[in-house]
Amino acid sequence: MMPRLSRHTTPSGAVLGASAGDASGMVHLGLGNFHRAHAAVYTAQALAVEPGEWGIHGFANRSRDVVSAMRAQDGRYSVLELSEAGRRAAVVDVHRGLGVLADEPEVFVAAVAAPANRILTLTVSEVGYCRSPRHGRLDVDRDDVRADLADPAHPRSTIGLVARGVAVRAEGGAPMTVLSCDNLQSNGHVTRAVLTEFLHASSAPEDVLTFVRDHVTFPNSMVDRIVPSTTSGTVADVGELLGVDDRCPVPAEEFTMWVLEDDFAAGRPAWDRAGAITSDEVEAYELVKLRLLNGSHSLIAYLGILDGRGTIADAWAQPFVREAVLACITREYLPTISLPRDFDVDAYVDSLSHRWANAALGHRTSQVGTDGSVKLLQRVPEPALIALRDGRTPHLLALTVASWIVSVAPPPGVEPGPHAGEIREPARDRLAEVTRGSAGPREHAMAVLRGGFLPDDLVAHDAFTDRVADLVELISRSGIRAAARDAVESVDDRRVS
């Protein structure tokens, strides 16, 4: 029987970078695969170059399984890199405390408040920031946010919990940094704004507001690595490569990138010496990633799902998907981005093609399509509005929204295929509610578009809503390939009246 991964069974030379000291200097919320394959890896590699007390006290939102597995392995786990060149695995050892937020929120609050912990990092997905899809500010109509505003000392929402930790920390005055590692445009600015809105709305004392303004920094960051879900194959590959039984390994592509504003109130690990880029152009890098990678990823996923494709690599192998995605990149995304200095966009797009074609990852279309009601808000509205204001109809962005609608809330009588049901969509119940009684695909689409899932200023453009409804109708009648072909052929053919 293969030994369980632990401090005592880690193969010699298999630890990635260097272990952190016994103390933590950071708190992290969101122990999913992305954090463990990205920021945790950079931290381990940074500590190999420049040792320090930067261990991570990590909290899962609700996943007790990953916390139990990591605890049984002394906080260790492996990262399995999968590329066209083959497989390799290494062990990460930087977590010095583990918890489940849903079970022990007071422990999280205490960790954020502890002066020794100087950075709070977040991978809570776009959903965790509690923002309204209509206006982008704090969503005070959410049940958990409303409850937290009434009783901020006993929060349950992510923002409420972060606010509580920061408020308790303010009593001692130790400066700190809150670092979002999620796919949000200007994620540092967004985090500061929504946290400040919560504090104001919950009538936080003035000294807490002053502390946040003067002693808490919120650097912007751009994170980039494709990290699929763990499977039994991941466990088997790690066992074969390292000779240990790891119950919580993480698969990932070889490519990784992290761009950071260097604005840390109380120091940071030497992430720049581990390959992270510090830059004053983070927002430009963010737009490149959010639109060219993330926006395209969503389109690949929904086209693939409706074409019966289970993985991103299989979807990308279909010529109609490549044609639609590349047209969207060149005609509808790139014109909306001011590229970073000396950025080779052709090389970047070429690298994206190779990454999407990486069949070894087994990246599920349903995983990429998860949380679309929130993710698309970062990827579609602004570039669509830029096009519309310029007198152009963004056909491929409309196709992205239309294919999302059919994937997660298909019109009556439309079968979206076997992979659509695997998508985790937090808005499914609301989508079902607003579309109940719709007479046909077009009316169904209009019910979604007017149901508060997209910003009001985008829905106000009839050219966009009509185009989305046209494409939902076409998908329902003739299939996704016909709709994608129609969208590609229509690019720049019709101006907004």
Rounded CA-CA distance 420/402 in Å is: 14
Residues in contact with 48: Cβ distance below 8 Å, sequence separation at least 6, in sequence order: 17, 18, 274
On the question of pLDDT at 280 being above 90, the answer is yes
Rounded CA-CA distance 213/175 in Å is: 11
Please check whether residues 328 and 245 belong to one and the same domain.
no
Rounded CA-CA distance 53/237 in Å is: 32
- Per-residue exposure over 273-304, b if at least 16 CB sit within 10 Å of its own CB, e if not: ebebeebebbbbbbbbbbbbbbbbbbbbbbbb
Q: Is 0.75 topped by the overall pTM?
A: yes
Please check whether residues 291 and 427 belong to one and the same domain.
yes
The pLDDT value recorded for residue 249 is 98
Strands lying side by side in the sheet with 55-60: 95-100, 55-60, 24-29, 119-122, 176-180, 216-217
The pLDDT value recorded for residue 20 is 64
Q: Is 404 part of a structural domain of the chain?
A: yes
- H-type alpha helices, 29-77: 33-37, 39-49, 64-72
CB atoms within 10 A of CB 442: 17
Mean of pLDDT values over 363-387: 96
Label residue 353 by pLDDT band (50, 70, 90). very high
Q: Are 430 and 411 in contact (CB under 8 A)?
A: no
Q: Are 35 and 128 in contact (CB under 8 A)?
A: no
Q: Mean pLDDT for the chain? A: 95
State pLDDT tens for residues 214-224. Answer: 999 999 999 99
Residue 317 phi/psi, 5° resolution? Answer: -70, -10
Mean of pLDDT values over 443-456: 96
Mean of pLDDT values over 446-473: 97
Rounded CA-CA distance 178/225 in Å is: 21
On the question of pLDDT at 350 being above 60, the answer is yes
Rounded CA-CA distance 349/358 in Å is: 15
**What is the C-alpha R_g of the chain?**
23
State pLDDT tens for residues 85-116. Answer: 899 999 999 999 999 999 999 999 999 999 99
Of 248, 278, 308, the residue that ends a domain is: 278
Residue 185 phi/psi, 5° resolution? Answer: -65, 130
Please check whether residues 48 and 100 belong to one and the same domain.
yes
Please check whether residues 308 and 287 belong to one and the same domain.
yes
Rounded CA-CA distance 398/381 in Å is: 10
The pLDDT value recorded for residue 19 is 66
Mean of pLDDT values over 259-276: 97
Residues in contact with 482: Cβ distance below 8 Å, sequence separation at least 6, in sequence order: 474, 475
On the question of pLDDT at 495 being above 50, the answer is no
Please check whether residues 238 and 342 belong to one and the same domain.
no
On the question of pLDDT at 419 being above 50, the answer is yes
The pLDDT value recorded for residue 103 is 95
CB atoms within 10 A of CB 209: 15
Please check whether residues 346 and 257 belong to one and the same domain.
no
Amino acid at 451: G
Residues in contact with 316: Cβ distance below 8 Å, sequence separation at least 6, in sequence order: 300, 304, 322, 325, 353, 356, 357
Label residue 84 by pLDDT band (50, 70, 90). confident
The pLDDT value recorded for residue 470 is 98
On the question of pLDDT at 496 being above 80, the answer is no
Please check whether residues 269 and 288 belong to one and the same domain.
no
Q: Is 237 part of a structural domain of the chain?
A: yes
Q: Is 469 part of a structural domain of the chain?
A: yes
Cα 185 from chain centroid?
Answer: 11
Please check whether residues 334 and 424 belong to one and the same domain.
yes
Host domain of residue 340: 282-490
Q: Is 317 part of a structural domain of the chain?
A: yes
The pLDDT value recorded for residue 13 is 87
Of 278, 313, 339, the residue that ends a domain is: 278
Please check whether residues 355 and 376 belong to one and the same domain.
yes
Please check whether residues 128 and 163 belong to one and the same domain.
yes
Q: Is 167 part of a structural domain of the chain?
A: yes
Q: Is 1 part of a structural domain of the chain?
A: no
Take residue 81 and report the two structure tokens written for it: 């890199």
The pLDDT value recorded for residue 493 is 55
Please check whether residues 197 and 92 belong to one and the same domain.
yes
Instruction: State the CATH number of the domain containing residue 474.
Output: 1.10.1040.10
Please check whether residues 113 and 128 belong to one and the same domain.
yes
Instruction: State the CATH number of the domain containing residue 77.
Output: 3.40.50.720
Q: Are 393 and 467 in contact (CB under 8 A)?
A: yes
State pLDDT tens for residues 314-342. Answer: 999 999 999 999 999 999 999 999 999 99
Rounded CA-CA distance 276/259 in Å is: 6
Amino acid at 121: T
Q: Is 183 part of a structural domain of the chain?
A: yes
Give which of 485, 489, 493, 490 is closest to 321, Cα–Cα.
485
Of 254, 278, 302, the residue that ends a domain is: 278
Q: Is 251 part of a structural domain of the chain?
A: yes
The pLDDT value recorded for residue 497 is 37
Mean of pLDDT values over 195-204: 97
Take residue 175 and report the two structure tokens written for it: 């400066």
Q: Number of folded domains in the chain?
A: 2
